[in-house]
Amino acid sequence: PVHPLLDRTRRSAELYEEAARYMPGGVTANIKHFDPYPLFMESASGARLYDVDSNDYIDYNLCYGALMLGHGHPQVLEAVREQLSRMGTPVFGTPHEMEVEMAKKLAALVPGVETVRFTNSGMEATLFALRLARAWTGKRKVAKFEGHYHGGYDQVLVSVSTRERKRGAPPEARADSMGVPEEIREQTVVLPFNDWETTESVLDRQAEELGAVILEPVQAGFIPPDPEFLSKLREYTHRHGIPLIFDEVKTGFRMGLSGAQGRFGVIPDLTALGKVLGGGFPIGAVGGRREIMELASPVRSGDILGGDKGAQGSEVLFHSGTYNGHPTVLSAGLATIRVLEKAGAFEAVEKATTKLRQGMEEILLRRGFIAQSVGTGTIFNLVFGDHPVREAQDVLRSDLTMRRRLDHLLLEQGIYIKPLNRFSLSTAHVDAEVNETLTRFEAGVKQLRRG
Ligand code: PMP
């Protein structure tokens, strides 16, 4: 079948053909691929993306949620230019003042953060958090939740994709990729989100061996936790001495300045951050309780000059990275936080999100589709079905074929969404953008066919 976009995206098709000769699948990350070919973008501004064929899109992917201020926010661009000219280089490879400034900021804003280490991605942040937790407890196994993504490495690439199962049946631990060693998969225990009874019974069987429990406090950034779920998990892990890690890579600086933990009032031992924190540049950070974080310190016995000696021994928890705390990244991140700290910034984006969600639901229902939006804060998803959506299983039970069809029609109408993915908004998605999106959305839904 001819892709509806085919006529208008010929240059993307050509570039894709060439890309596929030099990169597996023509992409630099599997998630960037979709059928029949992904669109190649050329420039961006505010809420808009412009592709290589000069089509414009209102962007709801926003680099998978990272761009909380939209594209090219003037204060972020200015901060980056200023950093490059002030320092005369992108990076020193030595300590510098912005690291201190950002660490201080995170400690002040995020309740569970006392001290911080920076990484280059969200994936490295969860990896480091898990190592800290295992070192702290001396235990090997890690518990994670079905459908929760923490990055692409072996230990957590387990049961990110979901298979249908009976309610109350514990999820299986399945590797999501070839090449994940069986013995690493076996170290991962998988739990069902928002099902406390089953979660508790699985934890009871494993508690002695668990070095960490990690989760996205809001599943996949859009499915909210039941009110009691997070606090029960907190209470349980505290009672059993298991460090609780919140992966706030998506929710950090989206669910407000204090993240999901501030919003729900449940404080983890360790927090992984990323995305918005880098203002569009690659970043990750781990923050948490001082005594756990301190395992990574190369300084021992209060002897500050003994640092190098300490770092040689196995008593130190290894953490490193050539670009950790990169000045260009931190200047963009600090500028982003400064904008978000202004009164009403999050409220405005949440208000726009609510208006968009309600508008989309109204259009779908009026045109005879059974659909709902599911979300929290500034992120949501569209689900064809009217059953409650409390975990990934429930998304599986919805009409995904219809959703895929809709997403392609939306692309054709100039609404950029990675098919089947979430919608994220930014401070650039003001009323005019939301109204225009709803007009485009209606034009897309008009062509949506059942069956
Ligand atoms: N954790 C969560 C919750 C994420 O959403 C992501 C990225 N989608 C990651 C970790 C990994 O972050 P990165 O892509 O920066 O490695």
> DSSP states of 94-162 as a string?
S--HHHHHHHHHHHHHSTT-SEEEEESSHHHHHHHHHHHHHHHHT--EEEEETT----SSGGG-BS-S-
What's the CA-to-centroid distance between 250 and ligand 1, angstroms?
Answer: 7
Distance CA 190, CA 238 (A): 19
The pLDDT assigned to 296 comes to 95
Q: Extract the residue ranges of the chain whose pLDDT is less than 70.
A: 1-4, 300-314, 451
Model pLDDT for residues 246-276, shown as the tens digit of each residue: 999 999 999 999 999 999 999 999 999 999 9
Distance 14 CA to ligand 1 centre (A): 30
416 in catalytic set:
no
Q: What is the pLDDT of residue 299?
A: 84
Say what the pLDDT of residue 316 is. 82
CB 207 within 8 A of CB 218: no
Q: What is the pLDDT of residue 229?
A: 98
Structure confidence at residue 301 (pLDDT): 52
Residue to mutate (ligand 1; options 150, 193, 248, 261; most atoms within 8 A of CB): 150
275 is annotated as an active-site residue: yes
CA distance linking residue 141 with residue 234, whole number of Å: 18
Quote the ligand 1 centre to 71 CA distance (angstroms): 19
Tokens linked to 29:
């990350």
CA distance 46 to 56: 12
**Using a 6 Å cutoff on CB, does residue 121 contact ligand 1?**
yes
- Give, for 188, the enclosing helix (H) or strand (E): strand 188-191
User: Long-range contact list for 161-164, CB < 8 A, 24+ apart?
Assistant: 162/392, 162/393, 162/395, 162/396, 163/396, 164/393, 164/396, 164/397
Domains of the chain: residue spans and CATH:
6-72+343-446 (3.90.1150.10), 74-340 (3.40.640.10)
88 CA → ligand 1 middle, Å:
31
Is the CB of 248 within 6 Å of ligand 1?
A: no
Instruction: Confirm or reject: Cβ of 64 under 6 Å from ligand 1.
Output: yes
Token pair listed for 32: 């960037």
Instruction: Exactly one of 247, 269, 394, 407 is catalytic; name it.
Output: 247
Tell whether omega for the bond before 36 is within 30 degrees of 0, i.e. cis. Answer: yes
> Cα separation of 171 and 174, whole Å?
9
List the residue whose alpha carbon is closest to atom 5 of ligand 1.
250
- CA 441 to ligand 1 centroid distance, Å: 28
Residue 9: predicted pLDDT: 95
Q: Which residue minimizes the CA distance to atom 8 of ligand 1?
A: 64
What pLDDT digit, counting tens, does each position of 303-358 carry? 555 445 444 445 789 999 999 999 999 999 999 999 999 999 999 999 999 999 99
Would you say the CB of residue 99 lies under 6 angstroms from ligand 1?
no
| CA-nearest residue, atom 14 of ligand 1 | 122
The active-site residue, picked from 37, 57, 275, 416, is 275
446 is catalytic: no
Contact between residue 128 and residue 329 where contact means Cβ atoms under 8 Å apart = no
